[in-house]
Amino acid sequence: MTLQQFMNEAISPWMREDGPDSDIILSTRIRLARNFAQYTFPIMADEDDLTHISDFIQREYENQSFQDYHDFAFMPIEDLSSTERRVLVEKHLISPHLAKQNQASAVLISKNEQVSIMVNEEDHLRIQLYSPGFQLNHVLTKVSELDDWLEEKIDYAYDEKHGYLTGCPTNVGTGMRASVMMHLPALSLTNQLNRMVPAINQLGLVIRGIYGEGSETTGNIFQISNQITLGKSEEDIVADLQSVVSELIEHERKARHYTMKESGTQLEDQIYRSYGILAYSRIIESKEAAQCLSDTRLGIDLGIIENVSRTILNELMILTQPGFLQQYAEKNLTPSERDVLRASLIRERIQLEV
């Protein structure tokens, strides 16, 4: 697998598959923070230590496979252009923090892009595993097996009392962040979500934007994840998140039903107007595109818009991001040029579908 192959496809192969509750849940992810016991953690490490970690990962795991995750590709961050880094962030394969690193930082990615292992970010390793739809227990099983496979060759920094030791104190314990990416247009439209956020926070969970901590919420897509890792088992963390997300799914479906019943004509008008903008506009900014894609996806899920697949909406949500637009154009673009190209790509992709 080459870097160019990762860059050419906007949507990861696994994202083309439907999963449980995929009308509301885009994806499930579990990330594990791990560190080598014999090396200083990245926040204080010198370049030699970080280079030892990076070289070890490349030597032991590049081109290797584990279960369904084949042909791991190793990519040093310093070898990537700013556009290539941005594309990997937009595909959720690396974090915005790793994209800013140069010193012996890297990423190891499986061919199907379900597994991404960030090297020398805030921790020596940040192991991510994705699945489509709502599959927390399945993802926990698979990432645990992957973690065990890595640990056959790595001595992790672990304390009997505190658990896995990490660069950030909030990750000490399990070192696990479980998250679910949700599309919640009806809860947003009815202003119910804002009232739910404080209660969700009190349960030790947090709602963030599409790219995690510090990112902006666009297109009614939200990332729900755990905040607490110490004092709870992996199974307890997943059970808590499972319970809250299940309730959010139920509330979103009720809100969709209520909105259709009480304001069906207005909702259909909003959905068709957004679809019309996507299908015919010549200039479109990223925020407007995200909102129109959200409305159109809702229309597809409600059966209002037919003959357009949910998958192309997933694809366009990534394809229309600034990094991908510049990768597609093979040059740096001004904001105005991106707006024109974004509109053109959306029109072409929708016309191919209908």
| Cα angle value 130/119/163 (rounded, 5°) | 75
Q: Is 273 annotated as a binding residue?
A: no
The crossing angle, in degrees rounded to 10, of helices 310-319 and 286-301 is 170
8 A C-beta contact, residue 130 and residue 16: no
Q: Is 213 annotated as a binding residue?
A: yes
Q: Is 297 annotated as a binding residue?
A: no
Q: Is 179 annotated as a binding residue?
A: yes
Q: Is 126 annotated as a binding residue?
A: yes
Q: Is 210 annotated as a binding residue?
A: yes
Q: Residue 332: what are its φ and ψ, rounded to 5°?
A: -70, 140
Q: Is 209 annotated as a binding residue?
A: yes
8 A C-beta contact, residue 248 and residue 181: no
DSSP conformational letter for 15 = G
Q: Residue 34: what are its φ and ψ, rounded to 5°?
A: -140, 150
What is the distance between the alpha carbons of residues 346 and 308, in angstroms, rounded to a whole number?
A: 13
Q: Is 44 annotated as a binding residue?
A: no
Q: Is 279 annotated as a binding residue?
A: no
Q: Is 285 annotated as a binding residue?
A: no
What is the distance between the alpha carbons of residues 195 and 176, in angstroms, rounded to a whole number?
A: 27
Q: Is 178 annotated as a binding residue?
A: yes
Q: Is 212 annotated as a binding residue?
A: yes
Q: Is 216 annotated as a binding residue?
A: no
Q: Is 338 annotated as a binding residue?
A: no
Q: Is 138 annotated as a binding residue?
A: no
8 A C-beta contact, residue 33 and residue 119: no
Token pair, residue 102, equals 């140069």
Q: Is 29 annotated as a binding residue?
A: yes
Query: Bridge-partner residues for 107, per DSSP?
Result: 75, 118
Q: Is 19 annotated as a binding residue?
A: no
**CA-closest candidate to residue 246, choices 280, 296, 200, 278:** 200
Q: Which residues belong to the annotated binding site?
A: 27-31, 92, 126, 177-181, 208-213
Q: State the binding site for ATP.
A: 27-31, 92, 126, 177-181, 208-213
